Amino acid sequence: MLETILVPQVGQDLTEAKIVALHVKLGDTVKRGDIVAEVESEKATFEVEAFANGVVTSLPYKVGDLATVLEPLVILESAGTAKPATVANPKPDTASAQKQTSSNEKISTETPVIENAPANGSVRSSPLARRIALANRLDIGHIAGSGPHRAVVVRDVEEAIAQSGGQALQLSAAASRLTLKTLKNGIGTPILLLHGFGGEIAAWRQLVMSVTTTNPMIAVDLPGHGSSPVAAKAGFVGLVDEVAATLRSLGGEFHLVGHSLGAAIAVALSAHAGIVVKSLTLIAPAGLGATINGNFISGFLSARSEAALAAQMRRLVYDSKNIPASLVGATFAARQASDIVQTQGQIAESLFEGSTQLFSIRNELVNFKGPCRVILGRRDIIIPPAETELAVPAHAALHRVEAGHMPFLEEAALVSRLIVQSVRSGE
Amino acid sequence: MAIESPKVNVPSKELLEKLFFTAYSIRVFETEGIKLYRQGLIRGYFHPYLGQEGIATGACAALSKGDYIASTHRGHGHCIAFGAEIKKMVAELLQKETGYCRGYGGSMHIADISTGNLGANGIVGAGTPLGVGAALAAQVRGSDAVTVTFTTDGATNNGTFLESLNLAAIWNLNFILVIENNQYAVSTPIGDSTRETDLYKRGTAIGVESHLVDGNDPLAVYDLMVEAVKKCRAGQGPILIEARTYRHMGHHVNDPGKYMPEDKLKYYKDRDPVDRARNDFIELGGATLAEIEVIERKIQDEFAAAVEFAKNSAEVSIEEFRQFAEAY
Amino acid sequence: MREIMYRDALREAIDEEMARNHEVFIIGEGIAERGGSYKVTEGLLAKYGAKRVRDTPIAEAGMIGVGVGAAIAGGRPIVEILYVDFAMLGMDMIVNQAAKFRLMTGGEGRVPFVMRSQGGTGGGVAAQHSQSLEALFYAIPGLRVVMPSTPADAKGLLKYSLRQQDPVIFLEHKHLYMTKGMVPDGEHIVEFGIGDIKREGKDVTMIAWSNMVPRTLEAAEALSKQGIEAEVIDPRTLVPLDKAMILESVAKTKRVVIVQEAVRRGGVASDIASIIQHEAFYDLDAPVEIVAGLDIPVPFNLALEKASVPQTDDIVAAALRTLHAPAHVQAAE
């Protein structure tokens, strides 16, 4: 075993000390308490004492040297060790350290993407006027301003919208197989929302209202959900590949917000080539623990009446009034109009076996180095939060909220704020 | 007033053993701590109590459960004498989660509220009003707890010294102010800081019973403190004690103290308080050298175990710190 | 509900908490027999005795320090400092001891210390008895800064101050002691960090505290006559600050005026403005307006004293600027 005696700290801010005496040479045997060297600071001379027994195997400095404080001064091999390990180079390799720093810098100098930047950047306007003009695809340069210095203020934009007949807009997802909806226009990297098993885009509407960033918000119907077709490949990987293809067609850089199965897909996407995930917000994520409430899955899928469906959906929340009747109604109506239950039954079979989840995204989450927040409902009876919590890596921020499996419905304000924080730290 | 050595009580062997145990524990903590500092295991500031061990040792031995102490920037000795756990102190100095203050406080801020240790203090003189406050809270509560503030000669020229001692006096608080007069304010000799170097006289000037004692004699400090505590509990507080002493080195771990005259340093080192406690234990308590050796070994082993404990302790969590900051 | 004076509301709070918790005591200059300069502690000596209601010498550093020490040792002190200007003598004890103690002890040590004091201009008491110093305390992490504007808030916040665990700087205003307001009967507590909408409106958010609240309400009435409905928010506690209430109001009105009696430079208003620009930038249709005192100590001459702090007309003008009212658009150019 090697014991390294360091050049001592001899002042609060001193980084160097002069070696004025070395009382040992290579091969000497040293006892605990022996004085092995003397070093001098600008104030005084200090003796350096050995704190272990051993044989001197390395002396990086000689008398007269200016030594760096807390670098090795004497290296001892303690008695009874079989074979000395190689003595580490005591001086740091500054060249390679610098190299590493500069390559790190390179990685982090990405310019943020600003979408829909106004044609005329020099127009004076209030921030609110600019935001509303952008959201309505109006060129702020063509609006006459009535504020100080002819700045465009919100009343001017409102007037312009009224004149243009109030156009709405849709995000066009070129070449995408899955259904996408822009829930909010804006500037910056889009926030992409991934719903859970059995859900659809509509699940997010309430949350979107309270997210206060300027970033656009886009939601997708997962394969076999809402109005999206089934995935080409079966199983969890099939779902992830299908969503990945759609995201690449959109430009490939996102803040991801996922719920339950959608959260697991979000994590898996972070490991996908061609997709840059700037932050992850995972709400009651699947794929971290092994357990899922199989009884709920089968009950949810086999509900024939609207009343049975409502009863099952109430299990998703802690306070049953948080499941609006309209959501139950819409889910029920969608089932009547298509064979979606059968499709989702097949998806469930490929993802879950009874009460066991057949996929895990724990490794991908450990490897994700961006900002990550995990939000768990303390009262979740679909995916046990205690089990998920154990699998959350240390670098992810964990938030427990008073909710069931749907914290984004039950604690919308809090979840919105956490999403905003994720997005801010990821920009 | 002459230096007092009342020795009114015949000291028991247990008491003498306790005094030696405490004084030697402080000595080991400081000498070994300095070595850890030199090797970079301890960072930041470190003000050793070397040479002053007799005061904390004698004073704290006279206190009971429920009493309070407040201390100074040179506070390790008071902590140990008041019963702190060595391993939690070392862990604090090594910036670990398991330290007294979770690594958030450091050498100058070790406190243990649960035992009545109101903490060391990085602001010279601040312990005096804080200690008077603790004594005031005790009086309001109807408790007979005594509060001892250890302060320094340097702090006696600070305004709060007069303000708070005067408050303790007008309210008859159970408060004992122990001035550790080590004769330097950092590096300025006491004669350059004040014209009257007999600091106990400042107490008499405002009607506070005041005494001078040899701070290098743990037993003398103890005897005087026993009397002072008794008087306080009988409603005759506050009391001021000037304990005269000298440091064995400069102000802090990186100050060689070249301004300290060699003959004076020798005078005080010849009257070393730890040697004094050891000799008292042998001569008055009849301890054998073998007994002494067992005690010394036990203390050294405890310190070594404390270092291992600290080294193996968890690092602080930055995420928890951020949460702490959010609610601060 | 009864209509009582601000100073009576404060006395009720202290009285009720002293009856409820025997650890609560109060020290200050001339507070016992005399009942305090503003009569807040009148009658408490007779009721609770000399152990719990104590006069002190004129020694602010000592008084504050002793209060902090008592709090650390589990007591419940109230230290009354006659003028907040005098608290400057005890700043070490507030800044280095009270505010830092919890951190220095790794979270274990708490300092349930309450310093009551009063600030602000009123009747020519001149530079060393008139300053508004909340920004100093606001800048020190660990302190709670409380500035009630009404009798009800004064009572509820003081009672809460005496039940929580952190050091509180409780700043009253010399001009408010004799003002009256409705106070609920029975137990009335106002927790920290919850602002109060003193007047609802949709056109502009006005944020004010302490004596600037009544003045801002006057300005809101004047604006109402011009058809402009101002929302007046009183955060009541500056630390912790009810950010959510402010941001919600800004999202509604898109315009903000912040009013403080303290000097403009380095003030709490500037910090609130910075929070708003960061968290509600795209809600804003006009620059955030700050109406504040001049960057100068308060002069003695009454006309100059008045000129050194915000008046109702200043607040009205600032609100009109945020609305881009035609006259103000021209003035800005």
| pLDDT tens sequence across A258-302 | 999 999 999 999 998 888 999 999 999 999 999 999 999 999 999
How far is residue A147's CA from residue C209's CA, in Å, rounded to a whole number? 30
CA distances from C279 to A193, A212, A399, A420, C141 (A): 22, 8, 21, 10, 21
Check residue A167 and give its pLDDT. 36
Report CB contact under 8 Å: A394, B319. Answer: yes
| Res. A53: pLDDT tops 60 | yes
C132 to chain B, minimum CA–CA distance in Å? 24
Chains with 3 or more CB pairs under 8 A to chain A:
B, C
Chain B residues touching A44 at Cβ < 8 A: 256, 258
Check residue B7 and give its pLDDT. 55
| Res. C327: pLDDT tops 80 | no
Q: In the A/C pair of chains, how many CB contacts fall below 8 A?
A: 39
* Interior angle at CA A363, CA A361 and CA A364, nearest 5: 65
| Res. C209: pLDDT tops 70 | yes
Report CB contact under 8 Å: A149, C281. Answer: no
Check residue A52 and give its pLDDT. 85
Instruction: pLDDT band for A51, please (50, 70, 90 cuts).
Output: confident
| Res. C176: pLDDT tops 90 | yes
* Interior angle at CA A211, CA A206 and CA A217, nearest 5: 85
Please, which residues 254-283 of chain C have a Cβ atom closer than 8 Å to chain A? 254, 279-283
C206 forms beta bridges with C232, C257
State whether residue B65 sits within 8 Å of chain A by CB.
no
User: Which residues in chain B land under pLDDT 50?
Assistant: 1-2
Chosen from C252, C279, C282 to mutate, greatest number of chain A CBs within 10 A: C282
How far is residue A179's CA from residue B217's CA, in Å, rounded to a whole number? 86
Chain A residues touching B45 at Cβ < 8 A: 12
State whether residue C324 sits within 8 Å of chain A by CB.
yes
Check residue A79 and give its pLDDT. 62
Please, which residues 210-269 of chain B have a Cβ atom closer than 8 Å to chain C? none
Report CB contact under 8 Å: A147, C329. Answer: yes
Chains with 3 or more CB pairs under 8 A to chain C:
A, B
Check residue A327 and give its pLDDT. 81
| Res. C237: pLDDT tops 90 | yes
How far is C-alpha A312 from the geometric centre of its chain's CA atoms?
A: 31
Average pLDDT over residues C51-80: 97
How far is residue C191's CA from residue C161's CA, in Å, rounded to a whole number? 8
Chain B residues touching C67 at Cβ < 8 A: 133
Mean pLDDT of chain C: 96
How far is residue C181's CA from residue A11's CA, in Å, rounded to a whole number? 62
- Tens digits of per-residue pLDDT, A225-261? 988 888 888 899 999 999 998 888 776 689 999 999 9
- Tens digits of per-residue pLDDT, A84-131? 444 444 444 444 444 444 444 433 333 333 333 344 446 789 988 888
Q: Which of A128, A130, A148 sits opposite C254 (nearest CB)?
A: A128
Check residue C330 and give its pLDDT. 62
Residues 6+ apart with CB under 8 A from A189: A112, A113, A215, A253, A254, A255, A278, A423, A426, A427
Mean pLDDT of chain A: 82
Chosen from B98, B107, B130, B323 to mutate, greatest number of chain C CBs within 10 A: B130
| Res. C228: pLDDT tops 80 | yes
Q: Which of A41, A43, A70 sits opposite B40 (nearest CB)?
A: A70
Q: In the B/C pair of chains, how many CB contacts fall below 8 A?
A: 148
Chosen from A43, A45, A414, A425 to mutate, greatest number of chain B CBs within 10 A: A43
Chain C residues touching B164 at Cβ < 8 A: 62, 65-66
Catalytic-role residue among C22, C129, C173, C324: C129
Report CB contact under 8 Å: A154, C333. Answer: no
- In percent, the amount of chain A with pLDDT more than 90 equals 36
- Tens digits of per-residue pLDDT, B8-22? 567 999 999 999 999
Chosen from B31, B34, B39, B323 to mutate, greatest number of chain A CBs within 10 A: B39
Report CB contact under 8 Å: C282, A127. Answer: yes
Check residue B8 and give its pLDDT. 54
Check residue A103 and give its pLDDT. 41
Check residue A176 and give its pLDDT. 65
B231 to chain C, minimum CA–CA distance in Å? 20
| Res. C163: pLDDT tops 50 | yes
Check residue A14 and give its pLDDT. 79
| Res. C58: pLDDT tops 60 | yes
- Tens digits of per-residue pLDDT, C251-298? 999 999 999 999 999 999 999 999 999 999 988 999 999 999 999 999
| Res. A28: pLDDT tops 80 | yes
Active site residue C129: yes
B149 forms beta bridges with B70, B177
B54 to chain C, minimum CA–CA distance in Å? 26
Buried b or exposed e, range B203-233, using 16+ CB within 10 angstroms: beeeebbbbbbbbbbbbbbbbbbbbbbebbe
- Tens digits of per-residue pLDDT, C103-160? 999 999 999 999 999 999 988 999 999 999 999 999 999 999 999 999 999 999 999 9
pTM, entire model: 0.71
How far is residue A187's CA from residue A217's CA, in Å, rounded to a whole number? 10
| Lowest-confidence region among A48-52, B265-269, C35-39, C140-144 | A48-52
Please, which residues 138-177 of chain B have a Cβ atom closer than 8 Å to chain C? 138-141, 147, 159-160, 162-164, 166-167, 170-171
Q: Which of B40, B43, B254 sits opposite A43 (nearest CB)?
A: B254
Check residue A194 and give its pLDDT. 97
- Tens digits of per-residue pLDDT, C285-326? 999 999 999 999 999 999 999 999 999 999 999 999 999 887
- Tens digits of per-residue pLDDT, A296-323? 999 999 998 999 999 999 999 998 888 8
Q: H-helix or E-strand containing C168? A: strand C168-173
Residue among C285, C254, C281 at smallest CA distance from A146 = C285
